[in-house]
Structure 1
């Protein structure tokens, strides 16, 4: 059976298809044949845009990580009391997760089986470390409880944020919108952490 010919693929649209397939089948369970079939193009057409499957994974993960690290450079994440900066980072992380849900989902599912996955895990640890520093600062300022280890608090905060990827589906017209979900995460998390 011949695949329909599509000449309109760009690296960005091909990436969107790859991310959909990675999330459906898992990265390890996805072959170039699966990607070609999903895109409706030949494998050689894919190779016209990228070197291979791992390049698509790196691009997907980079998009998610760029969104998260970009938050740390936004003025509200850099200025003011640490607790306010931390609340801002948590809120914006939830928003970025929902905005870039397919890409962040790929990031959250990496296991370290390839060079790209190991790079992604290292970058995630770096992000977590930077957030943990904000938690420590907020504890030192007396704004957050000192009886919860800052690294544990960071893991719990992002466990809550990351869990959104498991249930949030904007296309289903869910009861909660992006802003409402982000607000709920901040209110719920910081009610237990603030002094």
Structure 2
């Protein structure tokens, strides 16, 4: 009886370009955790040799850097766009929230990974530094809106900033693009809750009728 030849793993240039390789790597990082994922894990998931992965990147750290930069670049663009706007700070803050929701929807796996970064490597510490720059801008907008009388003054601006973007960031835990609402509708919902609140405004009461004297 003859034995079927065994097909060896593909070597050299893989059947993945960098973009598709990065998409799979981010999926695995989000499933297993970055630190718990080895190059061997990625090799098995991709069905290619580790040397084929190294054809595109220097290692796991570079994959992480490319992934978190994808999220951070989107947020930075939203921040630059907001900084170029004129008008009241509260309106610019709402614009930034809306644009951030769009970035999250469009780059969901990358933003999800960014929010799980803890600063254990040089790449992670660099990502956290860029996040702090974004957070500083949010805090400054909140402070300006408070000075203009558009944000309540009995809550610390830093707390407002964290609560506001805590709401945005929580979308990564449950939002799924397939079958869910689009980015515009999701941004509308977030802004209504964040800037208007949950409570339905009371219906206007009819003016009392004037009683005519007999």
For residue 177 of structure 1, report the CA deviation from its aligned partner.
2.4
Which has more radius of gyration?
2
For residue 91 of structure 1, report the CA deviation from its aligned partner.
1.0
The residue that corresponds to 2:3 in the other structure is: none
> Quick check: which one's helix share is greater?
1
Taking structure 2 as the reference length, the TM-score comes to 0.84
CA–CA separation in structure 1 for the residues paired with 2:54 and 2:107: 25
Taking structure 1 as the reference length, the TM-score comes to 0.92
Judged with a 3 Å threshold, the aligned counterparts in structure 2 of structure 1 residues 48 and 7 are, in CA distance, closer, same or farther, namely closer
Asked if the contact 1:71–1:77 (Cα under 8 Å) also holds between the matched residues in 2, the reply is no
Determine whether 1:120 maps to 2:127: yes
CA–CA separation in structure 2 for the residues paired with 1:135 and 1:75: 13
For residue 78 of structure 1, report the CA deviation from its aligned partner.
2.8
Determine whether 1:81 maps to 2:82: no
For residue 77 of structure 1, report the CA deviation from its aligned partner.
5.7
CA–CA separation in structure 1 for the residues paired with 2:54 and 2:111: 24
Determine whether 1:190 maps to 2:189: no
SS of 2:48's equivalent in the other structure is coil
Deviations 1:9-43 (A, max 9, x none): 12111111110110111101110011111122110
Asked if the contact 1:87–1:186 (Cα under 8 Å) also holds between the matched residues in 2, the reply is yes
Alignment of 1:1-195 (within 5 A): 2-3=8-9, 7-74=14-81, 78-171=85-178, 173-174=179-180, 176-192=181-197
